Structure 1
Amino acid sequence: MLKKLPKLLVILLASLLVLNLLQAYFTELIYDEAYYWHYAQDMAWGYFDHPPMVAFLIKISSFFFSGELGVRFMSCILSIGSIVILWLLIDNPKKREHILPFFTFAFSLTLLNAYGFFTLPDTPLVFFTCVFLLVYKHFIKDPNYYKAILLGVIIAALMYSKYHAFLVVFFIILSNLKLAINKYAWIAVGIALLCYTPHFLWLYEHDFVSIKYHLYERPNGAYHFEKYTVGFFINLVAILGFTFPWVYKALYKTKATDLFTKALLYLTYGFIIFFFISSFNRRIQTQWVIIISIPLFILAYNYMLTNKNALKWIYRTAIINTIVLVILRIGLIYKPLFPVYYETHGNKLWVNNLHSQIGDTPVVFENSYRTTPMYAFYTGSNTFSLNNIYYRQNQYTIDKTEATVQNKKVLYVSKYYKKGDIKYKRIDGTFLYGNFIENFESYRKLKCSIKEDIETLNHTTEYTLQVYNPYDKVVPLKKLKFSVVYLDKYKKVKDLISITPTAFKENILTLSAKDTTNFKIKLPKSKMEKPSYFKISISENGLISGLNGSNIKVN
């Protein structure tokens, strides 16, 4: 099948691969890539924010190269694979007469272009969506055991890439409800579940921390029409650039004449409708809708092959997109060409600035899962993100990184410091300060829960506070301070009140290792008129209170 690729397309793809490899090598990491690189330093079947596929790709890349290319190599490979599969998904024989428009159109899609060298969870999501559509296309023509097994493996790969890959499978099934009585489809589902079992087990072992965070713990804000809903429609334009009027016209003109075309339409409209509704609740990030680039490309290119006017205008606007994207890509490396400051600018500068002052002293960054791995990537030093109630949980909440800085001299960096032992300049011109702590000690993994169900706040009732110590050592209570944190309906911290728990047993001076200790507490009145949530938090050794308890909803 691949041997039949036109020579011109092979040359263009080879040229693009070289371009992406060079871009990957010379472009500094963005913060999210550094965070996923941190994932890959401790391979597992799951991570706090995402399934493990992105870490797996980085780990493979690191076998071949070091540095930035050691993070991005597999993304360069997968991006070329995605374009090859898009070519295979086009049946019209006229495609061989319009290879340059095909390639230019594919290259011009903004996020598909960016994920040609950046390594993010959407990178494998795009690739495996393309593979899924190709396998599904052959499956509906002639289902059999081989295709069912292959389809199941690909579905699992999709889900290992990103959780909302579930929507891809859901909308495809919705487009063909007869799959519900197709034995091969059920075999595919069974294979997918079997392959995904290790991640299910990981979720279970980690108390479904990822699901809880995404569904219940994630902070939000008040609805803002321009930022949320208008922003969503801007995203629908941004993913296509200047080609958007003709691409969406192609979508509108396309009719579901067969099951595969119907699947593409359901996938596109399904994502648009789902995230349009979601936009009334939260801001939709551009990459969340990247999946529709794939069915839109297939539908639009097929439309181009039967409509000369569409071919002319999509090709012309794709060229404009391409010129803009090439300039921006150069600007990722050469800052003066980029219109605004971007994350690829100046990371080595600030890292070297700080590292030159402190050497290999471990650094604890307060509330920053972004700068923490960036510093570790470019220096090789031990780092840790100490998260408190004014931030959010992340991979540093659940992994073993905390242990690497315990009882050591560290530099503690906080945005709240106005002065310190060390200061360094960020690329935006502002300064951050750090202070040395001779014997750093934190207990961020202590877990707090209320035994009773609480629906309405009662300030006179005594409740049972359960504190679990997961460490291998006892924790002295004299080092801990407990607080009740009150939050508004958007899960923003509004009030923090110290409390003094009373132990059920007398003379309790420590939290036993690997054990739960019960205390009695009363919930103090908040200065908030009507708190929507509260949680129990612990401060150790004078640090700002941590994220030790889950948000508890109250009336």
Structure 2
Amino acid sequence: MTQRFPKLFLLLLAVLLTLNLVQAAFTELIYDEAYYWYYAQNMDWGYFDHPSMVALMIKISSLFFSGELGVRFMSCLLSVGTYVLLWELVDHPKKKEYVIHFFLLVFSMTLMNAYGFFTLPDTPLLFFTALFLLLYKRFLTNSSFWITLLLGLTMAALMYSKYHAALVILFVFLSNIKLATQWQAWLAVGVALLCYSPHFLWLFEHDFVSIRYHLYERPNQAYSFEKFTLGYLVNLVAIFGLLFYWVCLSLIKSKETDRFSKALRYLTYGVIIFFFISSFNRRVQTQWIIIISIPMAIIAFRHLIENGKSRKWMYRIGIVSALLLLYARAWLMYQPLLPILYEAHGNKAWVANLHQQVGDVPVVFENSYRQSPMYEFYTGNPTFSLNNSFYRKNQYSIDGSEERIRGKKVLYVSKYRKSGDVQFPDQENTIYYGIFMDNFNSYRKLQGIVEKRDGGDTWELKVYNPYSFDISLDSLDYSVAYTDDYKKVREAMTLRTQPVYPEVKLLKSKDTVFYNFQLPLPQKMQNPGYFRVGIAKKGLLPGLNGIPIKLKP
């Protein structure tokens, strides 16, 4: 063990694990973590935004700990596991002389540092990317049955972590197209597909809701060089922090000495180019390109070992970077260290404030898949995010959480209200108001299917009831939301419908009613790009019951 891993390496690894565990236990959840914690309360093979690996990590963590550490424990373990895998991936006779340099290099990569304790889909993505590369490296010299099997299992784990993992597999394959002639490679793919088939089935059963949202329904905006392309380039710098210049230099000077080195370069350049092209269509989020941290850590460490000048500067800047990141991590636990507020600050306070006022009454948050799970995590009380046509779909749109508050007295919270029975500030001192509602009901899962009738300006609306109970048609209102070409809602109007069968007064369970309608002319916007139909129980805003329908040819 000490031959492969020097004592100094194991010591620093133990220090890192301890640091991450303390950080995980004493840093409040961020909103995305609360949302993924909510995933884990009902384990499934898929979720609205992501596959199920992040939920599995949280579920396992909760078996050992409660509170924040019960969300993050597995992230701490996978993080140190990633360091171990990266060390194994570097074959160099002198690497044991530069253990401290290795830790400074990897620790200074800002997002890899953060994902050492935060539980997000990118945490397992980084670990399984490193494991995939290690197994691929061994596969190149020994394509035995067990290596092949493990390679297939790891590819499945990659895809269960995040859909972007497909890029890892794709670019490694493109670096060695001869893999297509090896039956062992096809066996690995077969194992991966077999293990991933439960998620494929989940997607099928949920009408490919995740794919449809990410590819077609997600709002966008008009292209801006500063926000899109320049923002993407800034994100590239942010991933590597103060060491960006030397990490970038190591990539430029790296050489393809073997098929594995070629795979590292293909993966790095492939991801960079893919998202650079994407930046001309939509804003690229920083975490989307985090996977290049793994091949770049290997390339940069090799360069550091072999280049004395770069090694000296990377060591010096690495120390500065590590000190700054340690201070930032302390700030995450104790906000007064910096005059900046982050989403990990103040959540317990606003939750406690609201909970003190409402007690055990369930809370319905309007358009907030962020606040809803955060409140439930810190109180244990059921919540619901009631998404309307001005927001977007999320896990609350497809799961059974609506039934937890149906027919009950609830507090309905909206940031759009100017008064209410209850008020509370969030951590940024934005004031929210809530009103108590008795016998709460909503019908967000009603499906509005719109088709154009042949000729004229008449459309047909089919309203399908997926619930196990009947719904009075007199209790429903219909609306239309007009969006721009980027699916951003700009105007919402009442939709006047004509029932095809006027005598029908009840929408029975698992049944459909039919309407005809003509689109009202928008009053505030010209030339809308899309429209979508919304349905609401009277007194509530309309939901996201239909898909965006293109108006322009």
Smaller-chain TM-score bracket:
over 0.9
Structure 1 461/111 Cα, relative in aligned 2: closer, same or farther at 3 Å?
same
**3-state SS of the aligned residue for 1:93?**
coil
In structure 1, the partner of 2:326 is: 326
Distance in 2, Cα, partners of 1:416 & 1:144: 61
Q: 1:82-137: per-residue Cα shift (whole Å, max 9, x none)?
A: 00000000100100111111112111111111011000000000000000000000
TM-score (norm 2): 0.98
The answer to whether the aligner puts 1:508 opposite 2:504 as a matched pair is yes
In structure 2, the partner of 1:467 is: 463
The answer to whether the aligner puts 1:518 opposite 2:500 as a matched pair is no
The answer to whether the aligner puts 1:208 opposite 2:208 as a matched pair is yes
1:464 positional shift: 2.2
Distance in 2, Cα, partners of 1:357 & 1:228: 43
In structure 1, the partner of 2:311 is: 311
Describe how 1:349-388 pairs up with structure 2 within 5 A: 349-388=349-388
**3-state SS of the aligned residue for 1:433?**
strand
Contact (CA 8 Å) 2:465, 2:512: kept in 1 or not? yes
Q: 1:134-164: per-residue Cα shift (whole Å, max 9, x none)?
A: 0000011222222221111100000000001
| Alignment counterpart, residue 548 of structure 2, candidates 518, 540, 551 | 551
Distance in 2, Cα, partners of 1:534 & 1:472: 29
1:549 positional shift: 0.3
In structure 2, the partner of 1:185 is: 185
| Alignment counterpart, residue 535 of structure 1, candidates 502, 519, 532 | 532
**3-state SS of the aligned residue for 1:81?**
helix
1:422 is aligned with what amino acid? V
- Range with greater deviation from structure 2 (501-510 or 416-425): 501-510
Q: 1:176-234: per-residue Cα shift (whole Å, max 9, x none)?
A: 11111111111111111100000000000000000000000000111111111111111
TM-score (norm 1): 0.97
Contact (CA 8 Å) 2:453, 2:459: kept in 1 or not? no
1:548 is aligned with what amino acid? N
The answer to whether the aligner puts 1:398 opposite 2:398 as a matched pair is yes
In structure 2, the partner of 1:484 is: 480
Describe how 1:6-25 pairs up with structure 2 within 5 A: 6-25=6-25
- Range with greater deviation from structure 2 (393-402 or 310-319): 310-319
1:519 is aligned with what amino acid? Y
1:495 positional shift: 2.4
Distance in 2, Cα, partners of 1:2 & 1:140: 26
Structure 1 411/319 Cα, relative in aligned 2: closer, same or farther at 3 Å?
same
Contact (CA 8 Å) 1:81, 1:127: kept in 2 or not? yes
Contact (CA 8 Å) 1:442, 1:541: kept in 2 or not? no
Contact (CA 8 Å) 1:384, 1:401: kept in 2 or not? yes
In structure 1, the partner of 2:79 is: 79
In structure 1, the partner of 2:291 is: 291
Distance in 1, Cα, partners of 2:93 & 2:338: 40
1:523 is aligned with what amino acid? L
Contact (CA 8 Å) 2:464, 2:513: kept in 1 or not? yes
Distance in 2, Cα, partners of 1:481 & 1:347: 36
Distance in 1, Cα, partners of 2:486 & 2:451: 24
In structure 2, the partner of 1:66 is: 66
1:532 positional shift: 1.2
Contact (CA 8 Å) 2:453, 2:460: kept in 1 or not? no
Distance in 2, Cα, partners of 1:284 & 1:519: 41
Contact (CA 8 Å) 1:407, 1:439: kept in 2 or not? yes
In structure 2, the partner of 1:120 is: 120
The answer to whether the aligner puts 1:429 opposite 2:429 as a matched pair is yes
Distance in 2, Cα, partners of 1:453 & 1:377: 48
Distance in 2, Cα, partners of 1:511 & 1:149: 51
Q: Which portions of structure 1, spanning 4 or more consecutive aligned residues, are displaced by more than 6 angstroms?
A: none
**3-state SS of the aligned residue for 2:517?**
strand
**3-state SS of the aligned residue for 1:485?**
strand
The answer to whether the aligner puts 1:494 opposite 2:490 as a matched pair is yes
Contact (CA 8 Å) 2:452, 2:458: kept in 1 or not? no
Structure 1 539/254 Cα, relative in aligned 2: closer, same or farther at 3 Å?
same
Q: 1:402-442: per-residue Cα shift (whole Å, max 9, x none)?
A: 10111111000001110110001222122111010012110
1:362 positional shift: 0.3
Contact (CA 8 Å) 1:485, 1:535: kept in 2 or not? yes
Distance in 2, Cα, partners of 1:178 & 1:518: 56
Contact (CA 8 Å) 1:469, 1:514: kept in 2 or not? yes
- Range with greater deviation from structure 2 (96-105 or 513-522): 513-522
**3-state SS of the aligned residue for 1:13?**
helix
1:68 positional shift: 0.2
Contact (CA 8 Å) 1:464, 1:519: kept in 2 or not? yes
Aligned sequence identity (%): 58
Structure 1 296/185 Cα, relative in aligned 2: closer, same or farther at 3 Å?
same
Distance in 1, Cα, partners of 2:309 & 2:238: 23
1:452 positional shift: 4.2
Distance in 2, Cα, partners of 1:182 & 1:260: 17
List gaps (5 residues or longer) in structure 1: none
Distance in 2, Cα, partners of 1:186 & 1:63: 37
1:325 is aligned with what amino acid? L
Contact (CA 8 Å) 1:486, 1:495: kept in 2 or not? yes
1:241 is aligned with what amino acid? G
**3-state SS of the aligned residue for 2:355?**
helix
1:333 is aligned with what amino acid? M
Distance in 2, Cα, partners of 1:94 & 1:400: 56
In structure 2, the partner of 1:50 is: 50
Describe how 1:158-307 pairs up with structure 2 within 5 A: 158-307=158-307
**3-state SS of the aligned residue for 2:43?**
coil
In structure 2, the partner of 1:100 is: 100
Distance in 2, Cα, partners of 1:226 & 1:494: 24
The answer to whether the aligner puts 1:407 opposite 2:407 as a matched pair is yes
Structure 1 266/448 Cα, relative in aligned 2: closer, same or farther at 3 Å?
same
Alpha-carbon RMSD across the aligned residues, in angstroms, is 1.3
1:503 positional shift: 2.6
**3-state SS of the aligned residue for 1:251?**
helix
Distance in 1, Cα, partners of 2:310 & 2:339: 31
**3-state SS of the aligned residue for 2:428?**
coil
1:259 positional shift: 0.5
1:290 is aligned with what amino acid? I
Q: 1:333-364: per-residue Cα shift (whole Å, max 9, x none)?
A: 11012352101110000000000011010000
List gaps (5 residues or longer) in structure 2: none
Distance in 1, Cα, partners of 2:101 & 2:413: 51
Contact (CA 8 Å) 1:383, 1:405: kept in 2 or not? yes
Distance in 2, Cα, partners of 1:238 & 1:323: 16
Distance in 2, Cα, partners of 1:510 & 1:93: 77
Contact (CA 8 Å) 1:385, 1:396: kept in 2 or not? yes
Contact (CA 8 Å) 1:332, 1:338: kept in 2 or not? no
Distance in 2, Cα, partners of 1:535 & 1:429: 34
2:161 is aligned with what amino acid? S
Aligned length: 551
Distance in 1, Cα, partners of 2:336 & 2:453: 57
Distance in 1, Cα, partners of 2:213 & 2:48: 8
**3-state SS of the aligned residue for 1:240?**
helix
